[in-house]
Structure 1
Amino acid sequence: MLGLLLVLCIPLAFYTGGWWHTRGVQMLAEAPPTAPVRDVAQEQELDALRQRLAVLTSAEKVSLQANEQSRLTIKLLEEQVYKQQQDLAFYKGVLAPASRREGLRIKAFELQATDRPAYFRYKILLSRVGKGDTPLEGQLQVSIIGKQGEQDVTLELAALTQGLPDALPEQAIAFAFKHFQAIPAAEQFAELKLPEGFVPVEVKVRAEVQGEKPLLRTFKWGNQE
């Protein structure tokens, strides 16, 4: 009887195991898909973050473009004002009274601040009094006088332009003209950079013309007329 009982238990055990396996598969199939739902929600949140980032990036680009356009507009207006100043200096020189000594005039050392500290745009205006047809030829020596701490310091303009687009190759600036000359030419500006800690006080422009005595003019920094 015991042996017969054991023989009957074997198929019963197989049947019970198969039933539990089938039941387990059905329970897994009927379970709610929680994990995929979480993945969809996370993907939607990620898409929303991507959209917000795209909007912020676009706004930043628009702001940068607006700032650059404003800077270019201001530069254009400055150049137009400067051109008018050039024309005024020219007519003043041509229409000067005949009693004044004829020859070279250092009309102005124009100076304009930029949007970068220690960087300045400059321009030198030369004119001639009289009706001579022979060009005036010579050289300019431009020095910036100021203080570095407690010490009086004199810096050559050429040294302050090194490494910049309009760097002067030498300390002396050559000129040759009949009635009027701007350095640099046309409506352009040249740029200089002051050393850190240097406080400018005045600018000295010395002109040497062939056959004439040297001409020296001093301009206060920030008041170049």
Structure 2
Amino acid sequence: MERRRRPPLRGHNLVVVPHQTRAQRLRRQLLTLLVLLSIPGAGWLGWDAALRSQEAVRAERDELAVALAQTQLDLEAVSQQYRQVEVDLLVSRESLKGSQVMIHDLEQQLFRVQQDLAVYRGSLSPRAMAPGLRFQAFELQGTDEPGVFRYKVMVTRVGNEADTTQARLFIDVLGEEGGEPASVPLSSMTLAEDDGGLPLDFRYFQVVPANSQDSELSLPQGFTPKQVRLRVKHNDKLLVEQTFDWAVTAGS
């Protein structure tokens, strides 16, 4: 009996499923379990690393806060020292002003006493007792800087004690410049505002300048001083004029 041939399989795919042993299945399941268990572990490690990083940031922040607080304390201490220096400087300036006023008052008192004593002893000449203005003294002192000098003029008055003298004092240095006679006004040798003369306002006498800081004069370069001419004017009227030799004493 003839066997029938089976028609060929068409339109079908053949899938080959490999056969797994029990050991292979267990190994695969174990790997899957390890992967699943590693996910929480990785998360915990990441969380722990983040915590450690935050702790470092906190520690650095705390150190910066301590450094800032110390800097603020140092700044406050420096500010207090600065304010104390300002107070000390102000006190020193006021003390210096008071000392200058005291010295000026003592000079006036000394001159009054000397003048009264001279009158009592009869040592004043008739000319000295004549009413009017006169230059009692002119003084020049050298300084450590070449060409810079300090000057002082004492102007006195004899007359009615109720009267006061209000005038202007003009000072000129006479000498030579480039081999020719020359005259240099005080206004061009000092920083003081004396273009119109130095103010005089006194009853018995006055020392000019009253402030020692304004007493410096600087000679022009190439100028050789010989004499100093002093003049007192009131409303352009010459009241007294006198010339002194340029004689410099050692500075104090």
TM-score range, shorter chain: 0.5 to 0.7
Aligned CA-pair RMSD: 5.1
Letter in 2 for 1:128: R
User: Which residue pairs with 2:92 in the alignment?
Assistant: 70
- Aligned partner of 1:182 in structure 2 is 206
- Map 1:35-74 to 2 at 5 A: 35-74=57-96
Q: After TM superposition, give the deviation of residue 125 of structure 1 in Å.
A: 3.2
Tell me, yes or no, if structure 1 residue 216 matches structure 2 residue 240. no
State the alpha-carbon separation in 2 of the partners of residues 19 and 196 from structure 1: 95
Shift of 1:19: 2.9
CA deviation string 1:94-119 (max 9, x = no partner): 74736234232212457899xxxx99
Q: How does 1:145-160 map to 2 (within 5 A)?
A: 155-160=184-189
- RCO higher in structure (CA 8 A, sep ≥6): 1
Matches within 5 A, 1:32-181: 33-90=55-112, 92-93=114-115, 95=119, 97=124, 99-101=126-128, 102=130, 103-108=132-137, 124-131=153-160, 140-143=169-172, 155-162=184-191, 164=192, 167-170=193-196, 172-173=197-198, 179-181=203-205
> Normalised by the size of structure 1, how large is the TM-score?
0.59
2:224 is the alignment partner of 1:206: no
Unaligned 5+ residue runs, structure 2? 1-16, 176-181
Residue 88 of structure 1 deviates from its aligned partner by: 3.1
Query: Are the aligned partners of 1:140 and 1:207 in contact in 2 as well (CA < 8 Å)?
Result: yes
Deviations 1:58-93 (A, max 9, x none): 223313422332232133112211112123334555
Name the CA shift for 1:53/1:208 in 2 (closer, same or farther; >3 Å).
closer
C-alpha displacement at 1:135, in angstroms? Answer: 7.3
Please tell me whether the aligned partners of residues 135 and 176 of structure 1 are also in contact (alpha carbons under 8 angstroms): yes
- Count of residues in correspondence between the two structures: 208
Cα pair 1:202 1:219 within 8 Å, conserved: yes
Kept in 1, the 8 Å contact 2:151–2:217? The answer is no
Aligned to 1:27: 48
Q: Which moved more, 1:33-42 or 1:206-215?
A: 206-215
Equivalent position amino acid for 2:126 in 1: S
Instruction: Please state how far the C-alpha of 1:183 moved relative to its aligned partner.
Output: 6.3
How big is each residue's C-alpha offset from its partner over 1:182-225, in whole Å with a ceiling of 9 and x where there is no partner? 3669x767725544998x9898351256587732345755679x
Q: Answer yes or no: is 1:15 the counterpart of 2:36.
A: yes
Where 1:169 maps in the other structure, the secondary structure is: coil
Q: Secondary structure at the match of 1:214?
A: strand
Counterpart secondary structure, 1:37:
helix
Paired AA for residue 214 in structure 1? E
Report the Cα distance in structure 1 between the residues aligned to 2:212 and 2:88, rounded to whole angstroms: 24
Between the aligned residues of both structures, percent identity stands at 15
Please tell me whether Structure 1 or Structure 2 has the larger radius of gyration of its CA atoms.
2
TM score, norm. by length of structure 2: 0.54
Deviation at 1:131, TM superposition (A): 5.0
Shift, 1:24, TM fit: 2.9
Any conservation in 2 of the 1:140–1:205 contact (CA below 8 Å)? no
After superposition, the C-alpha distances for 1:148-183 in whole angstroms (9 at most, x for unaligned) are xxxxx9743222444x5xx1233x446577x53536
- CA 1:35–1:23: 2 relative to 1, 3 Å: same
